[in-house]
């Protein structure tokens, strides 16, 4: 039996290169999106789970991807459930393998896998949207910092030697620029050392819970950035809750599984507390009403949804709303930041040039030119 996957190997490799999961691991959201969608398509085509995994295994170019799917294939071939196979692979979250288990038990595995693919596709799209909105302002800002540093470190010392031959007192703005150049030149080794140590510390402890809490605490204090991070976390949580509740997972189990999703640590903390409250009979909306991450408006919407037994539909609406808000905010930030950074660059460079050429103009006037 010969079955073609949606893309040929060469086309798949090109797509993976152009759409790589920026900043993620080799088995990040992009791998999971491709895996779930391909597996769902093959199952819908009537291929058995074991044969589907075998076909996907042959299409992989990454060693880690082959090892992961090989573990799945080996476990399924031995008669184990797909959930057990996903747990044995060690790269899937509790949220993923429990949701897949519900699809397996209900006979709707292909539908559930397709929805998991949609979930990771939304993750990738949101990540690229934020990166795409920030990339141009960041490039402009780095260019501005580079240009200003070049002027202060290399150009101003050249003018300083020229001014040193003149006995006239320099203007205050020129003296300030020369002092700034000397301070920056003296601090360069320390700045490089601090940057190197920070990079090493980030790479070493980026998975640490305490470091993640510290990082999010700092980011939350930055205007707009903190709000975007919280909305992104709420969008991911709402999308995950919709998927789990729509496949028959109980509310308590859905909240416990959503804790395993990589989200804002403050939301994760609030969900842990909510999970304990629900076990003693408290409603979800009441448990989250005191949360700093969940807005009062969302808590009210959840309360109405619980009373009308429409939590799954409401979570879908909330995820769509947060996604649209994030798209709007990302585009707005990019639109506003670009001219501000360019104007800042022009102002600083103009001030430096004025400080350097002002003494030359004064010497020319004294000389009678």
Distance, CA of 242 to CA of 251 (rounded, Å): 10
Domain ranges of the chain: 9-92, 119-369
| Global pTM value | 0.66
273 closest CA partner among 297, 253, 255: 255
The predicted-structure confidence for 294-321, as pLDDT tens digits, reads as follows 888 888 899 899 888 899 899 989 988 9
Q: Counting beta carbons within 10 angstroms of the beta carbon of residue 47, is it exposed (0 to 12), middle (13 to 18) or buried (19 or more)?
A: middle
**119-369: CATH number:** 1.20.81.30
Instruction: Determine the pLDDT at residue 354.
Output: 86
Angle of helix 225-246 relative to helix 251-258, nearest 10 degrees, comes to 140
What's the mean per-residue pLDDT of the chain? 81
- Banded model confidence at residue 71, pLDDT cuts 50, 70, 90: very high
Burial class (CB in 10 A: 0-12, 13-18, 19+), 238: buried
Within 10 angstroms of residue 248's Cβ, the number of other Cβ atoms is 16
Average pLDDT over residues 269-278: 87
Q: Are 326 and 126 in contact (CB under 8 A)?
A: yes
pLDDT of 357 above 70: yes
**Alpha-carbon gap, residue 155 to 107, rounded angstroms:** 72
pLDDT of residue 72: 93
Query: Which of 249, 241, 240 is closest to 103 using CA atoms?
Result: 249
Going by C-beta distance under 8 Å and a sequence separation of 6 or more, which residues neighbour residue 99?
A: 112, 116, 243, 244, 247, 249, 257
Sign of CA dihedral 140, 142, 145, 146: negative
Kindly report which listed range (20-29, 150-159, 317-326) carries the lowest average pLDDT score.
Answer: 20-29
**List of long-range contacts for 343-349, beta carbons under 8 Å, 24+ apart:** 344/144, 345/140, 345/143, 345/144, 345/147, 345/148, 348/144, 348/148, 349/147, 349/148, 349/151
36 pLDDT band, cuts 50/70/90, is very high
């Amino acid at each position: 039996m010969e079955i073609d996957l949606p893309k040929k190997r060469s086309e798949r490799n090109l797509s993976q290169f152009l759409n790589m999961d920026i900043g993620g691991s080799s088995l990040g959201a992009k791998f999971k999106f491709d895996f779930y969608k391909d597996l769902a398509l093959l199952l819908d085509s009537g291929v058995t789970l074991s044969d589907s995994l075998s076909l996907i295994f042959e299409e992989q170019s990454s060693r880690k991807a082959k090892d992961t799917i090989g573990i799945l294939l080996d476990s399924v071939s031995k008669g184990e459930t797909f959930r057990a196979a996903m747990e044995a692979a060690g790269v899937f979250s509790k949220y993923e393998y429990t949701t897949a288990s519900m699809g397996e038990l209900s006979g709707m595995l292909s539908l559930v896998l397709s929805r998991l693919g949609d979930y990771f596709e939304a993750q990738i799209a949101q990540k690229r949207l934020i990166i795409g909105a920030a990339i141009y302002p960041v490039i402009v800002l780095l260019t501005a910092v580079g240009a200003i540093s070049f002027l202060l470190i290399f150009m101003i010392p050249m003018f300083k030697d020229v001014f040193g031959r003149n006995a006239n007192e320099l203007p205050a703005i020129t003296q300030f620029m020369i002092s700034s150049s000397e301070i920056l030149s003296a601090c360069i080794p320390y700045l490089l050392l601090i940057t190197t140590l920070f990079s090493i510390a980030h790479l070493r402890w980026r998975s640490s819970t305490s470091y993640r809490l510290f990082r999010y605490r700092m980011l939350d204090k930055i205007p707009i950035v903190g709000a975007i991070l919280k909305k992104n976390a709420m969008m991911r949580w709402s999308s995950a809750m919709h998927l789990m509740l729509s496949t028959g997972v109980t509310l308590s189990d859905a909240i416990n599984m959503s804790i395993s999703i990589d989200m804002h640590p403050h939301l994760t903390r609030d969900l842990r507390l909510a999970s304990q409250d629900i076990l003693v009979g408290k409603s979800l909306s009441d448990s989250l009403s005191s949360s700093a991450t969940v807005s009062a408006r969302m808590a009210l919407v959840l309360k109405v949804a619980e009373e009308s037994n429409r939590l799954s539909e409401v979570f879908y609406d909330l995820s769509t709303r947060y996604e649209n808000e994030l798209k709007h905010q990302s585009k707005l930030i990019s639109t506003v930041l670009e001219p501000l950074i360019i104007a800042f660059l022009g102002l600083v460079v103009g001030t430096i040039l004025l400080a350097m050429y002002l003494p030359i103009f004064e010497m020319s006037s004294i000389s009678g030119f």
